[in-house]
Amino acid sequence: MQRYNISSEQPLNHWLSISLRITGNSSKHLILSLAGWRPGRYEMAEYASYIRNVKAFDKDGEDLSINKSDKNTWEIDHAPEELEVKYQFYAAQPDGGGSWVTPELVYLNFINFAFKVVGMENDKIEVFLDIPESFKTATTLKHSDNDTLIAKNYFELIDSPLFASEKITFSEYSVDGTKFKIAFCGENSNPENWKSDFERFTREQLGLFGEFPFNEYTFLILGLPFQAYHGVEHNISTIIILGPENEIEEKKYKDLLGVSSHELFHAWNVCRIRPVEMTPYDLSKEIYHKTGYITEGFTTYYGDKMLATSDVFSTEQFLEEINKMCKRHFQNEGRKHSSLSDSSFDLWVDGYKNRAPGRKVSIYIKGCLSALALDLLTLRNTKGEKSLDDVVKELWRDFGKKSKGYTENDILQILNNANGKNISQEFYTLYHQTIPIENILTPLLSNVGCKLKPKHSPLLNERKFGFKLSPDNWDKIISIAPGSPAESQLMIGDKIISIDDKSEDITDYLSSDKDSDSLNIKYERFGKECEIKLNSNATTYYDWYEIEKNESVSKDQREIFKKWLKKEF
């Protein structure tokens, strides 16, 4: 058996003290390993870089020799039947995949620091948290009589996030015999106020799939006092991070609904409907796959679509969310250089960071728009009799429910079946080419009485001169459009001193109705002040498209629209 004791002598410094007691060991050469990455984030995590002072002792407290054999593995020769491993972990990552400890909060993702004890992966694991008596705990792990947490094995432990605090409130509801819990940690919000909307989108998702894989599910929602937005899926729970917490029930409420619906959809898609390369997970190395457009693209689309079809979102709210995707996609030069399938593969190369501007597309954003295209394509080809919903259902029945991994050919075959014809060309164009997606969406949107409307940036610097400024303080260049007037004279990272002699209220100046064909810019580069004049060239930059309804639509268009979103046009 294994037992973790976790404490923090000084929470302000974020260091956790961890003791792992192992009993019943039968291996003389004991191997302890950390996961190299976590499900839902397809990049190497380097958790070992947050750990220090790993030491091992026998039951009498005598030192044991423990040595690293690679970056994630520790080995103990001549290991006794009973031993203790002590170490410290730096818990200072307040996002959905990290851990965060303060005097008021303990938030843990065990995958960050829990060892897989090779040969004992399936043994029961106990966890004792040394926390104030006033703290409540929210997790899907079970409690024993003495308030120790119990995991059936290592795999359940690393799939069960936890937070503990005085500031936790609970709510729950049931849908078709499945109990859903909402645990909120934070201030100025009450999950009872969200319950009705949560129940509606939950019921809609269960109606789509026909069943829920388990009889219980928990939304663990952590409100933070600063800007935050992140969610991570788990088998029977999700951890969602939002902030500022005092805005969750007002400005951030749509974000709360969107990320919660997204993560619940993951309970089927990814947690169970999974590509063959990840069936089962191997957390020790990169698992290259090209179908991130299913794992995240389908989920991003359905997270919002389910809010619309359940009437939590109006048509206008749904299109507003889709149009956010449109803007981000069309303003990303990467759409011209990398396909969705290649961008999925390359998550393991550069993760989720823009290490080189315009290098690739997002599996979330273009993946969402491509799922929209497939949905509309299927509706058109079947005159509204079938949609992408039928594809998702079949993926669940034939793969997720059977714990069988799918291939890209499986996806295409299911799509062909739903469409009643071969759509290989459309599929290949969406996922393996860089052909502009507007060429595909335009005729498909027409079928539901909608269109793509061109939009220009309201900011003068973007629209006519081709450079973006940091949205935080507007003094730093963060993007330059290829072929723009800015490209030959400015550099990403240049610090703006003034524009047209204005050093204050630059944002108001650039977003005003003023339309100029030139800008005089003073900036600092590598500590040197420079001055240039940019002249426009009759071309606009950072344009995008938005989806909007046509003013005049036919009866057929109205009927297909209703089958798409379950709403009157």
pLDDT tens sequence for the chain (569 residues): 999 999 999 999 999 999 999 999 999 999 999 999 999 999 999 999 999 999 999 999 999 999 999 999 999 999 999 999 999 999 999 999 999 999 999 999 999 999 999 999 999 999 999 999 999 999 999 998 778 999 999 999 999 999 999 999 999 999 999 999 999 999 999 999 999 999 999 999 999 999 999 999 999 999 999 999 999 999 999 999 999 999 999 999 999 999 999 999 999 999 999 999 999 999 999 999 999 999 999 999 999 999 999 999 999 999 999 999 999 999 999 999 999 999 999 999 988 888 899 999 999 999 999 999 999 999 999 999 999 999 999 999 999 999 999 999 999 999 999 999 999 999 999 999 999 999 999 999 999 999 999 999 999 999 999 999 998 888 999 999 999 999 999 999 999 999 999 998 898 899 977 789 999 999 999 999 999 999 999 899 999 999 999 999 999 999 999 999 999 99
pLDDT value of residue 146:
73
Residue showing tokens 């003495």: 146
Spacing of C-alpha 484 from chain mean position: 33
Query: CA 23 to CA 2: how far, in whole Å?
Result: 6
pLDDT value of residue 176:
95
pLDDT value of residue 144:
87
Angle at 198 between CA 194 and CA 200, to 5 degrees: 125
Query: Where in the chain are all domains bearing CATH 1.10.390.10?
Result: 167-267, 275-443
| 460-535: CATH topology | Pdz3 Domain (2.30.42)
Which CATH code fits 275-443? 1.10.390.10
Query: CA 544 to CA 452: how far, in whole Å?
Result: 9
The 8 Å CB, 24+ separation contacts for 417-423 are 418/378, 418/382, 418/386, 418/387, 418/388, 418/390, 418/391, 418/394, 419/377, 419/378, 419/381, 419/382, 419/386, 420/381, 420/382, 420/386, 421/381, 423/377, 423/381
Query: Where in the chain are all domains bearing CATH 2.60.40.3650?
Result: 2-165
How many helices and strands in the chain, by DSSP H and E? Answer: 16, 28
Spacing of C-alpha 392 from chain mean position: 20
Query: CA 406 to CA 416: how far, in whole Å?
Result: 15
Query: Do residues 514 and 500 touch, judged by C-beta distance below 8 A?
Result: no
Of 312, 214, 295, whose CA–CA distance to 256 is shortest? 312
2-165 is classed CATH 3.40.50.620: no
pLDDT value of residue 542:
98
167-267 is classed CATH 1.10.390.10: yes
User: For residue 280, is the peptide bond before it cis, meaning its omega torsion is within 30 degrees of 0?
Assistant: yes
pLDDT value of residue 514:
76
pTM, rounded to two decimals: 0.97
pLDDT value of residue 23:
97
pLDDT value of residue 351:
82
Cα dihedral across residues 305, 306, 311, 312: positive or negative: negative
pLDDT value of residue 354:
80
**Cβ neighbours of 103 (radius 10 Å):** 10
Tokens representing residue 97 in the block: 């995949």
Q: Is 102 helix (H, G, I), strand (E, B) or coil?
A: strand
Query: Where in the chain are all domains bearing CATH 2.30.42.10?
Result: 460-535
User: For residue 213, is the peptide bond before it cis, meaning its omega torsion is within 30 degrees of 0?
Assistant: no
* β-bridge partners, 53: none
Query: CA 302 to CA 308: how far, in whole Å?
Result: 9
Q: Largest Cα–Cα distance of the chain, in whole Å?
A: 83
